[in-house]
Structure 1
Amino acid sequence: MMNNGVVVVMVPFVAQGHLNQLLHLSRLLSSYNLPIQIVGSTTHNRQAKLRVHGWNRTTNANIHFHEFTTPEFESPLPNPNASTKFPSHLIPSFKASINLREPFTNLLAELSPKTRRVIVVHDILMSSVVQDVVLFENVEAYAFHSASAFTTFSYVWEEKGRPKLDDVESYMQLTNIPILQDLVPLDFLEFIMSHIDCKSFNSGNIHDTCKVFDGKFIEFLSKEGLSGSNKQWAMGPFNPVSVNKDEEYVSKRHETLKWLDKQGQDSVIYVSFGTTTTLSEEQIREIAIGLEKSGQKFIWVLRYADKGDIFKDEVRRLELPQGFEEQVEGKGLVVREWAPQLEILAHSATGGFMSHCGWNSSMESITMGVPIIAWPMHSDQPRNATLITDVLKIGVMVRDWESMSELVTSSSVENSIRKLMDYEEGNEIRNRARKLGEDVRKSMEEGGVTHMEIESFVAHITR
């Protein structure tokens, strides 16, 4: 398909999960011969390219990065003992992203006269950066929402005062979610509010989710006219649905994958809490004890949360109980670096994922048919966890959200692992997760619901 004089400009938010999703979407759209221009700071573009996995970004000639220098900002180190797990240390880097407004607008001024139409796909949290799209007649903006449609609709529903819905089942599921004010600090709420006035210039909404499991809530969003438009495209999963197996890629396989090759099917729990959470020493000790007592084989990614600039200053090391790694040798693997999560989840030996339920991790796990032990920390994560455990029934909670400010004990960790890996209930959950994964992967095939959503969006922007 020809690009028909259309260029797509991606403007991702600067947190890792958001960067990753729009880089994956760039890959999908570039396959339609659409030239993709990605706008970001030099640091965050480098971060996104370093961490992308599941495909080789160097083979995508249609993707071009515009790397702009932004002013220095003070970014404190993550505090593992903070009373809440929201990454407040990243807020300075979030706020610094407004400095991309001028270079972004200059790029539009350069592209607009040379192109029939410029399509701007921007993270909803970058709305202030792209607000000057209204100055150009041939520029259209589409808002990207980085969570499930269930979670995104829950924000709209909450803003309207949590009204009763005709769909009683959905209403009851939504009433289980915690209120937003309990999930993020006031200064981040203010940051969100600075970006919500985008209804005047958005032409539609893009979601990294799939109608196979989120279709009902996409319909709800269409009725609500989110961001001033009822046009909604559920084009997920953005992440690859199969792992790259070319010879060069396989020769450089990560140590975790080689270790998984030696394990039995569905025998390993993968443990990772994403890029924004740092655990306290006390909590790390409880997880370590719980993993050991469960008797389950595991891969545990144990890292500090990202700093505002991941390339600046030395990475600190989180300490395990003395002798732990020696005690679990052969049964468990502790990884202190970036791990190829998509490939780990795709491996036949991986039977469960203890996760913070960030939407990247959730979609990757759903895609690969891996059930989730849900341990949400902040932001959209508790709502994504509700979708996973209550709506889709492909996971179990470590414990109720109401108790999440308390220490999660080793017995809670052990019991949640045993519930998923040892009991009949876990087998039923695993079978549902496996079936859902198959259905989601099929949705990407020609004629599948996601494939048609992508085709619909491409047809719309190239009309």
Structure 2
Amino acid sequence: MDSSFPNINVVFLIVPFPLQSHLNQLLRLSNLISSRGFPVHYAASVVHCRQAKLRHEYTQVNTSKIIFHELVIPPFLSPDPSSTAKFPQHLWPATQASMNLREPVAALLSQLTKELAVVDTTRTRSRRLVIIHDPLLAYVVQDAASLPNVESYSFNCGSAFCSFCFTCQFSGKPFPLELKPDAIPTMDNCISPEIVKFFGLQSQFDHLGHGKLFNTCREIEGPYLDLLAQTTTHAEEEEDVHKKKKKKQWAISPLFPIIANDDEDKAHPTLEWLDKQPPKSVIYVSFGSITTMSHEQINELALGLEESKQRFLWVLRDADRGDIFNGETRILPLPIGFEERVKGVGKVTRDWVPQLGILRHPSVGGFLCHCGWNSCLESLTMGVPLATWPMHSDQPHNALLITHILKVGIPVIGWGERDQLVTSSVIKKSVEGLMASSEGHEVRTRAEELGKVIRQQSVQGDFPELNSFLAYAAR
């Protein structure tokens, strides 16, 4: 147990949103909190608890000290993720179903608070229950506000830059940024109308929380964290006037191990293949767990990688269903003879891979990705530049941050071309630009410098802002 917290008077309840990137980040946070000696409960639907536990294999998370609560909700559809639309509309049924978590979460809150209230004459302070929840589940945890000795904090899995942009759009306030307003993607062309309404519903309960946690660090997004601290919703402004104080916020990432675990890193075939490649010669290609790509686009990507003559490691997987255990996963086809032609230069895998191990491997010199924030954060921490190809949601904002603000990546396409087929020639040019050009060298140098700064702040398991939050919660 961390010596900073000798008297454990706090129990944590973690409530994640049911998407892989959200489940995983809050599981990582649960691991870090439990490693400091705090009791941690992790509550999600039966399906999503099972998913989180199944996929922690390559995240270096110890789940043995985490108490899982598998909550029962009504069955929901799990549509096939294949679609002509890039936004993952097939996950909408799971999103709707998450609203049914309010009643079982309220029951769990009641149970945990009663357990905390058991008389213990050895304690000088009342025990407190601290809820950390996804902001997309503010509606679900609203009953915490009526319970004694309970505090709630939202944990935003996305970038602070995207949160700031969306907050400005919700409030109608101008962007105090150097970027031209028309260069910033708007909410209505990043997410579906149903999700916009869903966001609006959740924001009505923001004022009930006691503070905010962000899945980022100040070395990357300090200016936008400061802007967010100055920006509140109308409901929050009214609450702040009543309470006479502003809510606290913490940027608590990276949540993942900075230093390699050699035993785990050497256990996967992709890492064994990378061991045989020259330093910084391989571009890693992966589009996350909810990206749908047409067969035509997959063919163009394959040809672009082949024509670039650059070494590549490509993770080719279908998008997740809302229930990953319901239905068969499609095997996405490649051009005839492709894998044979690129043998020795490129490798395609359809399995889950240890992404952190890949990004920290000395043979990896670039990352072609969809710009999901988890992938961006892991890549930047390891000092790997990105070729950005955003698809939906927060990804276009993340791409803008990477390419135009931090200047540690190059764009494959601009957001204005999002509905066009990205041809092999465009992909070839982007891969060559990142991996084999003077511009790519400059971008890589900046990425490596930024990575060093991030890692220096997180060496030897020292997480200053996470420790600050835990000390505040345990006050």
> Which band: TM-score by shorter chain?
over 0.9
| TM-score normalized by the length of structure 2 | 0.91
Q: C-alpha deviations, 1:327-347, integer Å up to 9, x for none?
A: 111111111122221111111
Q: C-alpha deviations, 1:288-320, integer Å up to 9, x for none?
A: 110001001111111110001111221111111
1:179 corresponds to 2:186: yes
Q: Distance in 2 between matches of 1:233 and 1:53?
A: 28
Secondary structure of 2:222's aligned partner: helix
1:142 corresponds to 2:153: yes
Q: Distance in 2 between matches of 1:173 and 1:53?
A: 43
Q: Specify every segment of 5 or more residues in structure 2 that has no aligned partner in the other structure, as ranges.
A: 117-126, 237-245
Contact (CA 8 Å) 1:208, 1:237: kept in 2 or not? yes
Structure 2 counterpart of 1:156, from 167, 188, 192: 167
1:7-406 aligned within 5 A: 7-52=11-56, 55-58=59-62, 60-80=63-83, 82=84, 84-115=85-116, 116-163=127-174, 165=176, 170-172=177-179, 175-225=182-232, 228=236, 229-246=246-263, 249=264, 253-406=267-420
Cα gap change, 1:26 to 1:447, in 2 (>3 Å):
closer
Q: C-alpha deviations, 1:118-164, integer Å up to 9, x for none?
A: 00000001111111102211110101111111111111122233515
Secondary structure of 1:348's aligned partner: coil
Contact (CA 8 Å) 2:78, 2:326: kept in 1 or not? no
Q: C-alpha deviations, 1:47-97, integer Å up to 9, x for none?
A: 112222555434x543111112322111210124x1x30100010011111
Q: Distance in 1 between matches of 2:311 and 2:434?
A: 13
| TM-score normalized by the length of structure 1 | 0.94
Alpha-carbon shift at residue 280 of structure 1 (Å): 0.6
Q: Distance in 2 between matches of 1:318 and 1:3?
A: 53
Q: Distance in 2 between matches of 1:360 and 1:145?
A: 11
Q: C-alpha deviations, 1:271-300, integer Å up to 9, x for none?
A: 111111111111011001100010011111
Contact (CA 8 Å) 1:55, 1:244: kept in 2 or not? no
Alpha-carbon shift at residue 173 of structure 1 (Å): 6.2
Contact (CA 8 Å) 1:78, 1:87: kept in 2 or not? yes
Give the match for residue 471 of structure 2. 459
Q: C-alpha deviations, 1:104-124, integer Å up to 9, x for none?
A: 111111111332100000000
1:425 corresponds to 2:436: no
Q: Specify every segment of 5 or more residues in structure 1 that has no aligned partner in the other structure, as ranges.
A: none
Contact (CA 8 Å) 1:34, 1:62: kept in 2 or not? no
Contact (CA 8 Å) 1:148, 1:384: kept in 2 or not? yes
Q: Distance in 2 between matches of 1:216 and 1:207?
A: 13
**What's the % identity of the aligned pairs?**
46
Cα gap change, 1:447 to 1:89, in 2 (>3 Å):
closer
Secondary structure of 2:207's aligned partner: coil
RMSD across aligned positions (CA): 1.7
Cα gap change, 1:428 to 1:193, in 2 (>3 Å):
same
Secondary structure of 2:254's aligned partner: coil
Q: Distance in 2 between matches of 1:381 and 1:164?
A: 19
Secondary structure of 1:312's aligned partner: coil
Contact (CA 8 Å) 2:265, 2:357: kept in 1 or not? no
Q: Distance in 1 between matches of 2:24 and 2:61?
A: 12
